[in-house]
């Protein structure tokens, strides 16, 4: 039998349509934007109220309220009046220095010795004022215009001012800083009033925990604001040197931590910059 060749049937190729899945992007949670000032209302008054609003939108205001609840309870236990507490908040405007003032005067220390202790504890604020001045000054700035923001410069105001001032017109920065610092001071006064009248019902352990909120919030906020290598190095050196100098009972341990740690961090940053 001759071989029978069967015709080959070729199957048509069927192309499946490609289905492209839409890319789904997860929404990102933005950081709170810096306050903007309406150009049509670009006045010192508008800048002041923008700073006041920024203070109450910051978590630092509520940390201050909790902290001053503890400070007010301490002042109440030592027998100081509410008016004395409010006046010392305005005049001293530094939580740790105010704790030193209350505890030293309450323990019977003379006012001169208490003033020296408060002054030494407030030396740490001088570098903050110096670092903030270049952001505030412009060619028409008078020296007396810097007195109020210099007094209002505490750690809370300094941290938020470094974050918010670069996005504002230079002529609006001084009134904005005044509003920012005054907003934080009002928060401290609110916490002082609450703590003074709640002093009898607050456990001592809770009062101490509220006082501990302030340094922890400062540490977290400083970490959040670190941008350059020098910032991270200064933070790391401070976290190492601070406990060591305190354990060795070195006088002015906080001041020496800032001077030594900040200087070494800046030197390393400059050396790396020249090599590049």
Tally of structural domains, the chain: 2
Residue 21 lies in a domain: no
Residue 126 lies in a domain: yes
Residue 209 pLDDT exceeds 70: yes
* Higher local confidence (pLDDT), 230 or 3: 230
Instruction: Give the end of a domain, one of 225, 246, 263.
Output: 225
Residue 17 lies in a domain: no
pLDDT at 222: 75
Residue 171 lies in a domain: yes
pLDDT in tens, 131-158: 899 999 888 899 999 999 999 999 899 9
| Helix, strand or coil, per DSSP, at residue 132 | helix
Give the domain range for residue 271: 226-276
CB 207 within 8 A of CB 74: yes
Residue 22 lies in a domain: no
Question: Which residues touch 8 (CB under 8 Å, ≥6 apart)?
Answer: none
pLDDT in tens, 227-242: 778 888 988 998 999 8
Rounded distance between C-alpha atoms, residue 82 and residue 79, angstroms? 10
Please name the residue that has the structure tokens 């997860």: 26
Same domain as 68, residue 134: yes
pLDDT at 40: 45
Same domain as 230, residue 161: no
Residue 51 pLDDT exceeds 80: yes
Instruction: Give the end of a domain, one of 191, 207, 225.
Output: 225
Question: Which residues touch 141 (CB under 8 Å, ≥6 apart)?
Answer: 174
Same domain as 182, residue 154: yes
Same domain as 56, residue 105: yes
Same domain as 218, residue 92: yes
Same domain as 216, residue 89: yes
Same domain as 231, residue 220: no
Confidence of residue 186 (pLDDT cuts 50, 70, 90): very high
- List the single range of 1-10, 61-70, 168-177, 242-251 with lowest mean pLDDT: 1-10
Alpha carbon separation from 62 to 68, 74, 154, 182, 225 (Å, rounded): 10, 19, 15, 14, 19
**In the structure encoding, which two tokens stand for residue 270, read together?**
């400059």
**Which value, in Å, is the radius of gyration of the alpha carbons in the chain?**
29
Residue 15 lies in a domain: no
Same domain as 243, residue 211: no
Confidence of residue 113 (pLDDT cuts 50, 70, 90): confident
pLDDT in tens, 63-88: 899 889 989 988 998 999 999 999 99
pLDDT at 79: 93
Residue 95 lies in a domain: yes
Same domain as 230, residue 129: no
pLDDT at 214: 67
Residue 183 lies in a domain: yes
Average pLDDT over residues 170-196: 95
Same domain as 232, residue 215: no
Same domain as 146, residue 270: no
Confidence of residue 34 (pLDDT cuts 50, 70, 90): low
Q: Whole-structure pTM over 0.85, yes or no?
A: no
* Higher local confidence (pLDDT), 24 or 212: 212
CB 245 within 8 A of CB 261: no
Same domain as 165, residue 117: yes
Residue among 212, 213, 187, 194 at smallest CA distance from 73: 194
Cα angle for residues 173, 157, 242 (degrees, 5° grid): 135
CB 180 within 8 A of CB 164: yes
Residue 114 pLDDT exceeds 70: yes
């Amino acid at each position: 039998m001759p071989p029978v060749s069967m015709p080959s049937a070729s199957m048509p190729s069927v192309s499946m349509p490609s289905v492209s899945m839409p890319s789904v992007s997860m929404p990102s949670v933005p950081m709170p934007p810096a306050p903007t000032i309406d150009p049509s209302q670009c006045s010192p008054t508008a800048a002041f109220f923008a700073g006041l609003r920024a203070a109450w939108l910051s978590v630092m205001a509520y940390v201050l309220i909790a902290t001053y609840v503890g400070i007010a309870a301490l002042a109440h236990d030592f027998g100081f009046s509410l008016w004395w507490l409010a006046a010392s908040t305005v005049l001293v405007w530094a939580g740790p220095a105010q704790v030193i003032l209350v505890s030293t005067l309450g323990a019977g220390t003379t006012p001169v010795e208490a003033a020296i202790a408060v002054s030494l504890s407030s030396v740490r604020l001088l570098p903050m004022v110096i670092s903030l001045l270049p952001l505030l000054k412009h060619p028409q700035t008078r020296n007396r215009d810097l007195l109020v923001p210099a007094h209002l410069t505490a750690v809370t105001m300094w941290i938020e001012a470094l974050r918010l001032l670069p996005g504002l017109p230079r002529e609006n920065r001084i009134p904005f800083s005044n509003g920012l610092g005054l907003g934080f001071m009002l928060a401290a006064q609110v916490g002082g009033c609450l703590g003074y009248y709640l002093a009898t019902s607050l456990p001592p352990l809770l009062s101490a925990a509220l006082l501990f909120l302030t340094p922890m919030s400062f540490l977290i906020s400083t970490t959040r604001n670190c941008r350059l290598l020098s910032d991270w190095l200064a933070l790391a050196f401070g976290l190492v040197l601070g406990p060591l100098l305190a354990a060795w009972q070195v006088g002015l341990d906080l001041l020496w931590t800032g001077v030594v740690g900040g200087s070494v961090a800046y030197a390393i940053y400059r050396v790396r910059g020249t090599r590049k």
